[in-house]
A and B are shown apart, each in its own frame.
Chain A
Amino acid sequence: MSDLIRRGPMVLGLLVALALPLLLDDFWLQTGLFAMASVVGAIGLTLLVGVAGQLSLGHAFFAALGAYTYAWTVGDPAGQEAGLGLPPLVALVLAGVVSAVVGGLFSPISGRLRGIYLGLATIGLVFLARHLMVNLEALTGGFNGRTVEPFSVPGFSFSNAAPDYLAVAGVQFEGLHRLWYLFLGIAVLSAWLGRNLRAGRTGRALANVRDSEVAAAAMGVNVARAKATAFVISSAYAGIAGALMALAYGRIAPDLFGIQLSIDFLVMIVLGGLGSIAGATAGAVFVVALPLVLAQYSSQLPFLAAPGSGGLDAATLARLLYGAAIIAVLLFLRGGLAGAASRIRHRRSAHQRGTGGPPLVPTPSPDPSGATEPPPSQPAVSTRSEEKS
């Protein structure tokens, strides 16, 4: 019974998501596509950052890899840019696989670095990606980017260009509607896989590595391999997300996969609550939809100035509100959106905490193997020079 209550919102959400295309116009459908593509990427990142504790700002790199892999695989071999002309379904899978493989290749580096060092080192990947995207013109179309063939499975097309007609309950199902269901399917699958992984042997090992590498190793977890696994999984998610974004855009260019995308992904998972699949989903929808909704509706407010008049105009207000919303969530919601939701559910147990990371008790020592004896790196070998020059 409690199981039903727990799953209730999820099932309800799913039913709503299934029914929405019958009601929404193209604006909302397109917003939904971007949101669902981001959901997939955010789940991958929360598995890496939230569960395995490896900060990455390189998610845009893997998304770009997936997007271009998809475009290249389905691309017309005779077209302007190189292409293989393979079926889109193959391309979608390949987008995940190629990103995963590259993520695996990067893992010797990611295994060496920790925390913010890893996060900022992965920024380098984004700039590297940009350099490659601009310079490998034959594959990427350079700065202009390349078009993305629409998705289709034999006998059914997901684009407006296809002639076959389909309507549900009187609503004509065009390209966006069809893509909606494709994206929804992939997003739900991603969430399901993510939950399974997090709850299973691998997820427990990753969380243990995050909390203490020493303890995890002592339990027989191969720490280097666990970290690599996390990177591979998250890269695969990013690759698929990239392919979905490519489909949602219809055309990809280097500018779409800049550092801003990486940062957006990070905002999504932190706002949602680190390590939570539902939180990542909520965060992705928040980050993608809020600016669009604000931009769409702020222009109807009466007190605003016309653009160009120098006063506060609607567009500026929308952006200010978006920034303020991020700040507000972090100031007032412990554990992000997921933390807030879980508190609402457990309101009766007053001491329920969010998903925030509490320090060790009673003494906060990062080294569990012995605080009363010196850890290995202590005396006389400080590598840091004094802070005076």
Chain B
Amino acid sequence: MRNGTRTTLAIAGCCIVALAACSTKDPNASGNGSGGQSDVKAGAGVTDDAITVGMLTDLSGPFAAGAAVQVAETKAYYAQVNKDGGVCDRQVKVDVQDHGYDPQKAVTLYRSMAPNVLALQQVLGGPTSAAVLPLAQADHLYLGGFGWAGNSLKYDNAQIPGTTYSVEAANAIDYLVDELGVKKGDKVGVVYFTGDYGNDSLAGAEYAAEKRGLKIVPQEITPKDTDMSAQASALKKAGASAVILAAAPPQLASLAGVLASQKVNVPVIGHAPTFNPALLDSPAGPALLKNYYAFTSTAPYSSDEPGVKKAVDLYEAAAPKGAKGFEVPLAYAQAELLTDAMKGACEAGNLTPEGVVEAMRKTSDLDLDGLLTTSLDYTDPSQPPTRTVFVSRADADTPGGLKLGETFEGPSGKGYTFK
């Protein structure tokens, strides 16, 4: 008992000593870190000859494979940039960290990266980016590569590479009505993952369906549901004349296969993460070739546009045996977006995290040579920079499995309002 008292006293003593060392006066309240020797103000992650950007990605979790493609492409991109003289006369270094799709790890790793990077090139994954976004906003740190979920529009520091899943889905409904002969009163199934991705897509589809006089049949699933028989049967029973699938390749293969086996021959529409070229070799291949449409913000791997060509050439040189997919143009586009923002910050003489965000928000007319549909306008944080999407068809002979059809913007895609 006595000992306990003594311990308490000792701790209290330590506290007093600690308090004595306290101060509430900010010694550098007016200063703002170290300025470079040039006229450019340098912030976190910037030295006289180097810029560090971060990638917080999933290299050991469920999205490891796709994430690795993006890491490879991003690194190749910056190697190229560095060869051409770098950004703001500085070499760009990429700091890659793996959160393994675990939000707790993501937040912690974010803490370790934030003081040392100029911008975050990527924070991959729904729950992980949802956890990091508010922190990055508080730190005024640029954040890219989190997918296309509409709720990221709440954050002015987040740069979305194209439009949102909701606008993609709304455009898809328009396309169904205008181009594929779906009639007023018809039903469209939406099979979607619970979460920012799926629910965003559903919201867009529901908005457009109301505008165009269609009915939505929603079917919620989770990533572990890979057998879509029950959903397919339900869609068949409801008489759906098209299906939008906001899920992953396993679900697409299953759904397309089961629908075909039940003689339900309707368009199946997916987003960028829905498709994987390996599916074309699976039993569901024929059904996909017949009915699959991809509505994406970034161009498919096989696009002939110069931007995409550059991305693909770079990738095939860096990873000759790597998987071919939407990740390649996406990673390239994201790197271009960030590089553009960093260059803007450099020109403004403010190469700090805040400066990068400011520069990004001043971008009103950026063209990425066909990586994205139109020129991009990031001046209004609450709106996506474009509302036009790529429409592609599955094609067995095309690298990446998707053949670009056209760009498209329908009335619902244009009119969709964000909550």
Contacts and interface: CB of A to CB of B under 8 A. Distances in A.
Nearest to B419: A80
Contacts of A248: 107
Contacts of B111: 25-27, 29-30, 176
A164 interface: yes
A227 B118 CA distance: 54
B72 A167 contact: no
A316 B58 CA distance: 10
A166 B65 CA distance: 45
Interface string A298-324: 010000001111100111101100000
A14 B11 contact: yes
Interface stretch (B32-40, B125-133, B300-308, B341-349): B125-133
Give the bracket for the number of chain B residues in contact with chain A: 35 or more
B112 A309 contact: no
Interface in B84-126: 96-100, 102-105, 107-112, 114-115, 126
Contacts of B239: none
Interface in A129-145: 134, 142-145
A169 B18 contact: yes
B96 A3 contact: no
B18 A168 contact: yes
Contacts of B321: 310
A144 B130 contact: yes
Contacts of A319: 60, 100
A27 B14 contact: no
B260 interface: no
B281 interface: no
A253 interface: yes
Contacts of B103: 249, 253, 255-256
A253 B68 contact: no
A318 B126 contact: no
A255 B127 contact: yes
B246 interface: no
A124 B62 CA distance: 24
B14 A169 contact: no
Contacts of B68: 307-309, 313
A167 B19 CA distance: 9
Contacts of B195: 143, 255
B71 A30 contact: no
B25 A165 contact: yes
A309 B11 CA distance: 53
Contacts of A145: 130
Interface string A42-83: 000000000000000000000000000000000000000000
A307 B67 contact: yes
Contacts of B107: 30, 34, 248-250
Contacts of B26: 165, 167, 172
Interface in A272-318: 288, 291-292, 295-296, 299, 306-310, 313-316, 318
Contacts of A250: 107, 134-135, 138
A28 B396 CA distance: 49
B319 to A, nearest CB: 6
B21 A295 contact: no
Interface in B15-34: 15, 18-19, 21-27, 29
A23 interface: no
A281 B210 CA distance: 54
A7 B22 contact: no
B131 A295 contact: no
Given A14-B11, A307-B96, A308-B68, A143 B24 contact: no
Contacts of B127: 253, 255-256
Contacts of A308: 65, 68-69, 71-72, 319, 322
Contacts of B97: 295-296, 299
Interface of A: 3-4, 7, 11, 14-15, 18, 25-27, 29-31, 34, 134, 142-145, 147, 160-161, 164-170, 172, 176, 248-251, 253, 255-256, 288, 291-292, 295-296, 299, 306-310, 313-316, 318-319
Given A34-B108, A295-B109, A309-B68, 13 more contacts: A11-B7, A34-B104, A144-B151, A144-B199, A161-B138, A166-B24, A167-B27, A168-B18, A308-B65, A310-B321, A313-B59, A316-B64, A318-B60
